[in-house]
A and B are shown apart, each in its own frame.
Chain A
């Protein structure tokens, strides 16, 4: 039984340097722009490039008070599929909850991989080739933000328009209008995938 029933909880699994923190911040700010309460924070471990990391987001209609790390997520997003080999990403993820993975693999292949690790998962699995979409449209690997399109499609936790607007708010002054537009297009493409 989920402890915080009125809070939508997300865990991002990634490797240090893959931009999970930026992705979490975009979702959080998008939810804030919709008048919601949020928390976004990394698992406070050593910040080593390439090491597996967890980043947490909470979204609620009510003020959020807990400072526990997220231990019972509603959705898990995996930015790097090799993490499936070393981490049990589906811990406390129930059969009515969802796993989103940046991968070229199929649902069956991911499910098989989880089973091999002894972490069989009954819930929904959403593979998305965020790297591929990102390379094709942006010309650079930016799976961390592209995958947000899929996240919105699956969870409806925030509106797509809020996510793309926040992407612009956070990145446009850093990467310019043209690159921002391409990134947003890639997020929208991920949203439209089946």
Chain B
């Protein structure tokens, strides 16, 4: 083990890992707004640009709204386009998110998911990305720095294949600021995996003039939206295909989600992001004492691979869905998706909704152990439980 048998094994923060992936992608354009609440992603990437390691056109604009607007223009013009944001920045982009997806623009956005104000808090939770879940973007969550590196590359290809924008999501601070080991591919491998970006239609194709995002009134708007939704539905299968291609070159297993010891599990926790790592340790420890527990970690969240998730849950007796976001006035998003699926398939499993770690509050292994124990003891209610409040 000494002297690092794998020379590609390095240690980076999640932000730096995303920047590394972006360097290897070397997009034509990266439009960014480089102040708080930005992340280390763009400052790292800006350094690559300054050092001449990438030829990407880095456009510094005056707000996040302008950053995504510049991305829309650039992508429509036919350029491979990326951006990165977080928290309030994503919230400010909201209006343009729908324009990007409605115009079917394959923009990749790396998001360091964080809390939204007020009160002011810049720490990790999923409020920002959950707030954007209906904006027509594909959303992929990542557990650790390795996954954020992988999903940044997968996300770029997925966007271009599906003509839908993609958010590759990491947990703000928990992963974005945590130095961890990861393996990276060579730039050649990444470039070969992505292939050249050759959009079917683009604005700078002056031989074949087209219009993007024109007026579509009562007689056609609806059709546009239904077609967009069909594309989103198909994007699930495309994701799996691309993820499997990536698995071949990286050797890292990829799927819609990770079913960790769920096969015979009676109690299952469902969650997305970095807490999956902590939960796996808890699962292993509880299994040593004979407790049949498991974890289903959400990776692809939009489109939601409902059928596949349900089949992984078939042996579970009870389920807890743990989320780092509130959907004000109702249950949080993943819980609603899961319960909807179970109802459709006639299942009567008990499902507990749990909200945890808003605004970066620590979550401990003992908290997760208690969730499993409560499931086992059938302490399951319709009330949302809040951990540590």
Contact = CB atoms under 8 A, between A and B. Distances in A.
19 contacts: A32-B4, A32-B11, A32-B181, A33-B4, A34-B2, A34-B3, A35-B9, A40-B11, A40-B179, A41-B173, A41-B177, A42-B177, A44-B173, A64-B277, A66-B277, A66-B281, A67-B171, A67-B278, A68-B364
Nearest to A43: B362
Contacts of A32: 4, 9-11, 181
A28 B11 contact: yes
Contacts, number: 79
A9 interface: no
Nearest to A28: B179
Interface residues of B, number: 32
A67 B174 contact: yes
Interface of B: 1-5, 9-11, 123-124, 144, 171, 173-175, 177-181, 274-275, 277-278, 280-281, 285, 360, 362-365
A164 interface: no
Interface of A is mostly: loop
Interface of A: 3-4, 24-25, 28-29, 32-42, 44, 61, 63-69, 71
Contacts of A69: 362
A38 B4 contact: no
B278 A66 contact: yes
Contacts of B174: 41, 44, 67
A35 B4 contact: yes
A65 B11 contact: no
B178 A67 contact: yes
Q: Which 4 A-B pairs have the closest CB atoms?
A: A65-B277, A41-B178, A40-B179, A35-B1
A107 B180 CA distance: 35
Contact of B123 (A4, A38, A39, A44): A44
B181 A34 contact: no
A69 B123 CA distance: 14
B43 to A, nearest CB: 15
